[in-house]
Structure 1
Amino acid sequence: MPADFASPAPRINAIATAVPDCDVHERYTEWAASQLDDERKAKLFRRMESRGGISHRYSVLTGGDAAMDFGSFYKRGDEPGTRARMERYAAHAPDLAMQAIAGLPSTEGITHIVIASCTGFLAPGLDQIIARRLGLSTGVERVSIGFMGCYAGVTLLRTAAHIVRSDPWARALAVSVELCSLHLQQSDNIESLLAMGQFADGAAAVIVSAQGEGLGLGKGLSLALEESDELITWTIGDSGFVMHLSGEVPGKLAEALDDASVCNAIMGDDPPVAWAVHPGGRSVLDAVERGLSLDPAALSASRSVLDTFGNMSSATVLFVLEKLAPDKPETGIALAFGPGLAMEGLRFGWVTGDA
């Protein structure tokens, strides 16, 4: 059993992911570029967007809405209000969550549900909706984690692990679902358009228990950088949730990770074999690689997820773990970044049924 793991260690027994059918990446690029009246700026935007390390992003929007045609959800001059966006969230988030859950081998014996989502609100919440659709006991214990942003995927796993540590017979279903495409904003600012051009929709579901083999979940790590609270913000406005992602984030992140105390806290006594780093953008992954002096291949799983799916907020780190799990890594660490600027981490490593 890896160091820093309780016995019996909480572990991910199964993990499954899902994305909607509609790939909107190329159409977004044209929609965003059309908002820049200066053709030189539009060309610059397209060039920078093409270097972002993303080939595909998926959205629950379909048909003309996904194409961003006139009269669609994002028609020019008439942005959808927060209510309209939340109606779409309520209509699509449960279905996408259930699509991910359907990929799990079994949901029998679930005692707890933990939900993470920062792109929408509804009540009764996703926790109750999912429990009802799965036919779970009305007494199943439920926890909802909201509005934490991209690092909530790590918090989701830590919460499920804490539940299992407190009750070794617990079987927790942890689900992240994010519909980032519901919060696009009209803008003539290249930095804002590039930031929005990273985000996509996706869901992930995991089973966490203290039985069987799987990715053991160990010690957590939290860090909030001083004087960085304006670098990443997520504000509820009249036209949805407005993301601000400063271009200073990669530099600040690399500087923080280069600090000896931070680096030692992440690396521990032995450097992890596997890295599940939230792909918050190509520049963020480059900053982590540079700040921690990692081999370029160390973040290959994260770069692959970014290329194939984009940044799905809290669900994304779970997509990375799904790619790493088949290799049964002996040791690893998951890292994710979000509003603050803050970082959440969690050690993991393969454990057998008797660990």
Structure 2
Amino acid sequence: MSRIVAVSPVLPVHAYDQATITAVIAPLLTSDPVRQAAIQRLHTASGVRTRHLALPLERYVEPMSFGQGNDVFIEVGLDLAEDAVRRGLKSAGLAPDDVDLLLFTSVTGIAAPSLDALLAGRLGMRPDVKRIPVFGLGCVAGAAGIARLHDHLAGHPDDVAVLVSVELCSLTLQRDDDSLANAVSSGLFGDGAAAVVMAGARRARELGLPGPDVLATRSCLFPGTEGLLGWDVVDTGFRIVLSPTLPDVVGTHLGPAVTSFLAAQGLATDDVRTWLAHTGGPRILDAAGRSLGLPPAALARSRAGLERAGNLSSSGVLHVLADALAGHDAPPGSPAVLFAIGPGVSAELVLLRWDAPS
């Protein structure tokens, strides 16, 4: 067992309402007024009201190469990661040299040395800190990161582990591409980061650190869906692959996967009071709710996160988790399920015991 002792979400300072972003971005995708109007309708229907961007909005009008965008990812992403980790450690009453394992995930930029190495030096972590940089999990990586830290802490109960997610989705914008996938993604994804601080069972108990316990996790790959979600890596960077059939896949596979996962823990969906879903978009959230047989209000927190900041890829579910922890609206000891969907197509499921006593 492991415990989540802090979650610290952060957002870039440049924030804009959806209509303002659309007015700038749509002409970058197409010069056709009819297509621009269609893009505007897609953005309006995205469920997003506000997004935060790595750069001031006017910077996106300027041509930007893959390399230039990736340089921004490293510079801005490192600052956001540092902010998130410092806040998380301070909230937990821990110091950088307390961290035994650092897992960094992103799908919107690349670096070697990876950002976790740069971050460890900047924060003053121990030279023997274990590092795991992860690329390619996409939106599922927030939940998967918690699961993999749990795996480590189950065997290292005296350790402290930190997950850092940085997603600067705006830097992957593909100009002169008015395809449906690019039009949808240009109105759905936002920029953000988050850190999760976790402790092994003995470490949490010795320090008296409160927070929800991770009880179990499960990874799920949905067969035959490999080409439905992800990136095509092209000369101009990362071009989105986003199939319109993705909600159907979620609707078909998620419910049975969660039912089986809970049954292995002696639970049913009706036993779960708190559902924390990745902010994948209205159609994904609708499909998840139907597949799980949930009332509309069950995913209200995820819809609110989507409205406030857009789909933050791997950081999205971590922002939802932070909101839920701040809300204190679940009975102590009650079960909660955190889940996310990503390329593969895959799902990651995490069973929590809410507000477990110290």
TM-score by length of 1: 0.89
Q: Structure 2 CA distance, aligned partners of 1:331 and 1:262?
A: 17
Is the counterpart of residue 144 in structure 1 residue 133 in structure 2?
A: yes
Q: Structure 1 CA distance, aligned partners of 2:262 and 2:50?
A: 32
For 2:195, what is the secondary structure of its paired residue? strand
Which of 326, 335, 341 is matched with 1:337 structurally? Answer: 341
Is the counterpart of residue 189 in structure 1 residue 173 in structure 2?
A: no
Which of 226, 243, 248 is matched with 2:245 structurally? Answer: 248
Q: Structure 2 CA distance, aligned partners of 1:216 and 1:267?
A: 16
Retained in 2: the 8 A contact 1:328–1:349? no
TM-score by length of 2: 0.88
Q: Which residue of 2 aligns with 1:61?
A: 55
Is the counterpart of residue 33 in structure 1 residue 26 in structure 2?
A: yes
Q: Which residue of 1 aligns with 2:294?
A: 294
Q: Structure 1 CA distance, aligned partners of 2:137 and 2:259?
A: 25
For 1:133, what is the secondary structure of its paired residue? helix
Retained in 2: the 8 A contact 1:335–1:343? yes
Q: Structure 1 CA distance, aligned partners of 2:294 and 2:57?
A: 42
Q: Which residue of 2 aligns with 1:222?
A: 219
List aligned pairs for 1:312-323, cutoff 5 A. 312-323=312-323
Judging by fraction of residues, say which structure has more helix.
2
Retained in 2: the 8 A contact 1:11–1:351? no
Cα deviation, residue 328, structure 1: 6.3
Q: Which residue of 2 aligns with 1:83?
A: 67
**147 and 48 in structure 1: CA distance in 2 versus 1, 3 angstrom threshold:** same
List aligned pairs for 1:272-287, cutoff 5 A. 272-287=272-287
Post-superposition CA distance 1:248-286 (Å, at most 9, x none): 11122112235xx43522543232211111111111001
Cα deviation, residue 223, structure 1: 1.7
For 1:197, what is the secondary structure of its paired residue? helix
For 1:241, what is the secondary structure of its paired residue? strand
RMSD of aligned C-alpha atoms? 1.8
**33 and 126 in structure 1: CA distance in 2 versus 1, 3 angstrom threshold:** closer
Is the counterpart of residue 200 in structure 1 residue 190 in structure 2?
A: yes
Retained in 2: the 8 A contact 1:20–1:202? yes
Q: Structure 2 CA distance, aligned partners of 1:353 and 1:266?
A: 24
Is the counterpart of residue 171 in structure 1 residue 193 in structure 2?
A: no
Q: Structure 2 CA distance, aligned partners of 1:89 and 1:97?
A: 11
Structure 2 runs not aligned, ≥5 long: none
For 2:178, what is the secondary structure of its paired residue? coil
Retained in 1: the 8 A contact 2:335–2:354? yes
For 1:17, what is the secondary structure of its paired residue? strand
Q: Structure 1 CA distance, aligned partners of 2:152 and 2:86?
A: 23
Q: Structure 2 CA distance, aligned partners of 1:352 and 1:291?
A: 28
Retained in 1: the 8 A contact 2:258–2:349? no
Amino acid at match of 2:191: D
Q: Which residue of 2 aligns with 1:6?
A: none
Q: Structure 1 CA distance, aligned partners of 2:26 and 2:329?
A: 43
Cα deviation, residue 332, structure 1: 0.8
Q: Which residue of 2 aligns with 1:4?
A: none
List aligned pairs for 1:147-166, cutoff 5 A. 147-166=136-155
Is the counterpart of residue 134 in structure 1 residue 108 in structure 2?
A: no
Retained in 1: the 8 A contact 2:35–2:178? no
Identity over aligned pairs, percent: 29
Q: Structure 2 CA distance, aligned partners of 1:205 and 1:126?
A: 13
For 1:150, what is the secondary structure of its paired residue? helix
Q: Structure 1 CA distance, aligned partners of 2:41 and 2:108?
A: 28
Q: Which runs of 4+ in 1 moved over 4 A?
A: none
